[in-house]
Structure 1
Amino acid sequence: MAEQQLNAERRFGGLNRLYGEGSVDILGHAHIMIAGIGGVGSWCVEALARSGIGMLTIVDMDHISESNINRQLPALGSTVGQAKVEAMQERILDINPFCRVQLIDDFVSADNMEQLVHLAPDVLIDCTDQAEAKITMILAAKRHNIRLLVCGAAGGKQNPLALKRGDLSLSTHDAMLAKLRGRLRKEYGFAKPKVDKVKPSTRIPKMGVEVFWVEESAIMPSAWQQGNTGPQGLSCAGYGSSVTVTAPMGFAAAQAAIDYVLKKSKVV
């Protein structure tokens, strides 16, 4: 036990010097769930593992393919065909052998969401690229009062410095988040701007959903621009994509989760 404590201090002691004494212990008792281990989610998991998070639950049913290599952390020639969650588990334990890693080899859906929230994560990070999965997580997090961070679309974006964080009501330049916003307001009664013809107001009520987005117009592939084909959904698989945008979004979500865990324990 003493040797384990010494090794943990050697590996993660820099966090105490950054966030304050006791931070490593607090992060070591935190449980964070990440749904979607792709271009954004894999880098988010990496950052959390290197921050000494004590328990990571990773949710994805996909397998690594060659097309993932340009942006996804575990994607290598040697790992093609391997389950993403298994590849990430190996990496997490190599970084932090003290971490408890829980694998959910499945996609998020209405059928399994209640089981996932009963695992009681301190923070749930949504790195999926499917609107239905995002809505499912938003509604479940609201019902169970779970801290949720939602990542928007990184496909078709080039500028990592255009990354923004805020309430869903404020996001722009993101078709996926716009779709979520519309459906949550129309179908689930989330706050929407009031129309007052007598006294117009520019104030947009918050929806209580924290999101990350890249405030930059998506770049259409040349084939789409020429009319040969059209968008194949909102994921990186349809648009072009780059690790220089997907990774920063994952890192930003990880930092937000770390901040929340530490502030909850009144360290920062």
Structure 2
Amino acid sequence: MDPNRMPALFVSHGSPMTALEPGAAGAFMQALGPRIDTAFGRPKAILAVSAHTAARAPVLLAAARHEAVYDFGGFDPKLYELRYDAPGAPALAERVVALMGEAGLPVHLSREGGLDHGNWTPLRYLYPEADVPVLPLAFVPTQTPEQQFALGKALAPLADDGVLVLASGSITHNLRRVFSSGMRGPVDAKEIPESAAFRHWMAERSAARDWEALFAYRERAPHAPDMHPTDEHLLPWYVAAGAGGREAAPLRLHESVTYGCLGMDAYAFGPNAQRLLG
């Protein structure tokens, strides 16, 4: 095992307000960037997969530079003043095209750029100086967890090149419940039992490396249709898992909840994931 092989990561970005109100998850991500640098060295680039950048076929956004995209509405106007102008990674895009081609996976290359809030929110905490090149990959939200895992598996060799695969979504994500008390309910509301049960099941099945159950989460996990009325916020978890591989158990690095039902858990994948524990 290469001790410098960088793990793949999944972080929950939560509400857009996470960018202004970091809470426990934001504090964790602030500490995670330096922890990555200490354990593995500063990533040469980041391959970013966000629940909010999706397409009918995989698309690499290979612009030379990215800016924050404000893909939301109705929140604090201060959010629109936040910026994250990061260098792109056009050369990395060519490498990813080759890797996906070897795996028999189609991918399109676009010279357009932009980072949705699922990308720039965690990146502002992980690398606030915006000095790490970023390559966003739009994934296909209609594909199964197994297909997302296969996508991640094709990306696995990037870790040997010092590239961080960073997936972003939410470990639980039911906006109807979040907004049941209005646009902004209490961020520190007590967690509902359904959210706690789902998060516990994901952590338990991950520790057991029960891939069969994890791939069938929608049928097997408690309250899955409630916690994920649609799949897109959990599917990036499987991309990162595929990049980390089946042999190592997915490791929960952080757990917290906002608004009582929006899980903010983070996971690391790969044989060196333990080195990221605080």
Q: TM-score by structure 2 length?
A: 0.35
Q: TM-score by structure 1 length?
A: 0.36
Task: Mark the structure with the bigger radius of gyration.
Answer: 1
